Amino acid sequence: MTKYIWVLVFLLFAGTASSQVQNISPQTNPIDYSQPKQYRLGGITVSGANFLDPNALISVAGLKIGDQITVPGDEISKAIQKLWDQGILGDIEVYITRLEGDNIHLNFSLKERPRLSRFNFTGINKTQRDALEGKIALTRGKVVTDEVLNRTRNTIRNYYLEKSFLNVKINITQRPDSVLPNSVVLNINVDKGNKVKIADISFAGNEAFPDKKLQRQLKKTKEKRWYKLLTSSKFVRSEYENDKQLLIDFYNNEGYRDAVIVSDSVFRINDDRLGIILRIDEGTRYYYRNITWTGNYIYDDAYLSRVLGIGKGDVYNKQELEKRLSFNPTGGVDVSALYQNDGYLFSNIEPVEIKVEGDSIDLEMRVTEGPQATINKVTITGNDKTSEHVILREVLTLPGQKYSRADLIDTRNRLSNLGYFDPETIGLVPEPNPADGTVDIHYSVTERANDQISLSGGWGGAIGAVATVGLTLNNFSSRKMLNLSNWRPIPAGDGQRLALNVQANGKYYQSYSLSFTEPWLGGRKPNAFTVSAYKTVIRQPTSEGGESRLNVDGATIGLGRRLTWPDQWFQMSHAISYSRYRLENYTAFESLLGFRTGDSHSFTINNTLARTNLDNPLFPRRGSSLSLAVNATPPYSLVTDKTNNFQLLEYHKWMFDASYFINLAGNLVLSTRAHFGFLGSYSKDTPIGPFERFKVGGSGMAGGNFFIATEFIGLRGYDDQRVVNTSDQTLLNSGGVAYNKFVIEPRYLISPNPAATIYGLAFLEAGNNFGSFDTYNPFKLYRSAGVGARIFMAQFGLLGFDYGWRLDTIPGMPDMKRGQFHFIIGQQIR
């Protein structure tokens, strides 16, 4: 049979793609296109598909042998459209390869789009290149379609628009790859141009507030000014839209609930400067008039109104109203908490505006109290290391009790203060069961490493180089020690604390300490039992060729307990300590002790009353910490006539520390602190010995003085331990008997990551050290200011540095440096 070839020509338009006009082959038996006719599809072939599967393409086209199709008709047009929609073909032609009666055979002649071999950037630096490569998602072998090219351009453009390069130009060119067939190399040329800054932001229609106040409400959209060194003035459309909403929120919070931005204009001043004009319709300022309550039976109207704290004539502020109903940012009781702390989990308060008259609004508070909810189940997840009983003993929301939101929040703070979990990710989710009036509470925690290993070296003045090795296990488990499978690497999970520390530089200095704490002695009550022991040996050569030596040996047994009065955050601890100071030809304290060879014994009773309710032990945002510690020896001089020769040490020591944290905004916190210390004797005829005194100045680290019975107090900007009057030799050599210090410290959290919590700070502080109570003057202070940073790494503890600038001169020390760096390892500057 003679072979007839007929050509069908189709014009296709798909989005922004170019249409293809096909050539018509010679026809020997043409079809009458003015009279469509039905055919049976007898065969389908595909040509030009070198890298694509022909069978898959036929399947995508949606045609199969035996189908009835109309020529000309919609079936072939739809098939071509389906193939084109895949975005992988650059040209599609359909031929009739054979015509036998009512049977028609078709061939789809295709031209595949090229694939990506590689791409190159020009016109930008390596940093920008690396950033863009992770964003544009171009991979080798990807089909290069118009959509891929457009998406790449838009991604690059948005990247530079976010950086205020509003004039960026992107040109993408293709060239065939000489190595790989049907592949192209993309060259992406970027001309980012100059940054475009905001030169002016002005307002129209604003009468209640000046432009400057309104400009401050725009958090990310700022004017370029020479004095705003740390303020970005770039224009980012998304941030600008958010700032417009913040502006309206500001008006709403000031009582202008109908305020709207009528129009805004962003215009070019020149190539690198923009201007913005916002036209505002402020509307009327509204005030509260009458506030009534309905549906409340547990609490009367007057009491709920007092808790709400909004009165007649107050400026209408919907955001503040919501806070006082459901969330009090100051930590006080809001109306919702009033109900939820008494078990009314299902309660709801809906404020409804029942009348708007002139500039006054009447509100009706519609209260649905509902039944009291009882706690059904308490579950905990995420504690891979810490034993569940360690967590449950801190939980205040127990099955069978009434639900309390306050208990829920206090439990979170308790879990945070344990130090075993990341405070930023502690989750607490009440899951109400309205059908039976119960609630399930789910706590989720994220374990973090809080054991610490310290390996460090330092210079100990006359002693020389000193090496330190320390191990602190903060979540130790003694009961798991006998099971070898728990040594991975250390038995852990029961909340016990084991600490070992060794310092030495060979013969001249050695110091050893070991302590163990069980926070729940007996497992039923939070009674913390602590035992510790220490030993220090200091040897120094004398001018006569001999050796002077000081041995310090001691041990402490303590018991601490939580109190329930005045509130649950109080703790009291008691301890008994014994220390022996053995001197052998040791001259450093001879002027106070009256001997250079002999023993001094110290028996002390230590009592501490403390209250701590911080929300986060590493970076507190709110809360306070107060402590009063009293260490006292027996009053030997009051019960005997024997002159005190310091064989039995006699003193009473008082230490008071107070810290208060205020959340100013987000991660910005203000820390204020006050510290006092006093060391006295029971009788005015009994002198105070050289032990347990105070030394002030510098970082608060011991520095070259490794004597264990000295309290080191930091005062940044001054030399270590040199806040003294050089005319007082006792104060200079042994330390003071009284000190006080005050600190104001704004802090900003940079990284909440539990692996490395980082925050920056600035500080103003003042303090002084006094050699006697006759010279004590709490208002005579040496002042300093500066900045610093802290890094808390779980494995190594606290690391930090400060730069302090002293504001006063120490008498007798005119050559002390005015500005100083201070490094801190393992402790806060107190």
Q: 45 forms bridges with which residues in the sheet?
A: 107
- Residue whose entry in the numeric block shows the structure tokens 């030009």: 48
Question: Looking at residue 645, what is its pLDDT?
Answer: 65
Regions of the chain where pLDDT drops below 50: 1-29, 329-330, 460-461, 703-706, 828-830
Q: Architecture of 115-191 per CATH?
A: Roll (3.10)
Question: Looking at residue 382, what is its pLDDT?
Answer: 93
Q: Three-state SS for 308? A: helix
What is the third-level CATH fold of 652-830? Porin (2.40.160)
Question: Looking at residue 591, what is its pLDDT?
Answer: 66
Q: Which two tokens stand for residue 529?
A: 């039992």
SS3 for 653-710 is EEEEEEEEEEEEECCEEEEEEEEEEEEECCCCCCCCCCCCEEEECECCCCCCCCCCCE
Phi/psi of residue 749, nearest 5 degrees: -75, 120
C-alpha 354, offset from chain centre: 43
Encode pLDDT of 379-425 as tens digits.
999 999 999 999 999 999 999 999 999 899 889 989 988 889 988 88
Question: Looking at residue 677, what is its pLDDT?
Answer: 96
Nearest to 399 by CA among 381, 418, 380, 417: 380
Encode pLDDT of 283-334 as tens digits.
999 999 999 999 999 999 999 999 999 999 999 998 889 888 986 644 556 8
> What's the start-to-end Cα distance of the chain, in Å?
105
pTM score, two decimals? Answer: 0.66
Sequence spans of domains, the chain:
6-112, 115-191, 197-281, 287-368, 380-444, 652-830
Question: Looking at residue 226, what is its pLDDT?
Answer: 79
Q: Which CATH number is associated with domain 287-368?
A: 3.10.20.310
Contacts of 524 (CB under 8 A, 6+ apart): none
Q: How far is the CA of 566 from the CAs of 41, 165, 395, in angstroms?
A: 92, 60, 20
- Is the Cβ–Cβ distance between 769 and 695 less than 8 Å? yes
- Is the Cβ–Cβ distance between 199 and 273 less than 8 Å? yes
Question: Looking at residue 22, what is its pLDDT?
Answer: 34
Question: Looking at residue 794, what is its pLDDT?
Answer: 64
- Is the Cβ–Cβ distance between 319 and 327 less than 8 Å? no
- Residue whose entry in the numeric block shows the structure tokens 């069908």: 8
Domains 115-191 and 652-830 share a fold: no
Phi/psi of residue 417, nearest 5 degrees: -75, -10
Question: Looking at residue 32, what is its pLDDT?
Answer: 63
- Is the Cβ–Cβ distance between 509 and 537 less than 8 Å? yes
CATH class of segment(s) 197-281: alpha beta
> Which strand ranges, in their side-by-side order, compose the sheet holding 6-8?
6-8, 89-100, 103-112, 37-47, 68-71
Question: Looking at residue 701, what is its pLDDT?
Answer: 66
d(CA 694, CA 651): 14
Dump the DSSP string for 328-343. Answer: -TTSS--HHHHHHTTT
Q: Which two tokens stand for residue 516?
A: 């163990």
> Which strand ranges, in their side-by-side order, compose the sheet holding 197-204?
197-204, 273-281, 260-270
CATH of 6-112, one of 3.10.20.310, 3.40.50.620, 3.90.1150.10, 3.40.718.10: 3.10.20.310
Q: What is the DSSP-derived secondary structure letter of residue 423? A: G
- Is the Cβ–Cβ distance between 700 and 721 less than 8 Å? no
CATH of 380-444, one of 3.10.20.310, 3.30.505.50, 3.20.20.70, 3.40.50.11310: 3.10.20.310
d(CA 829, CA 699): 6
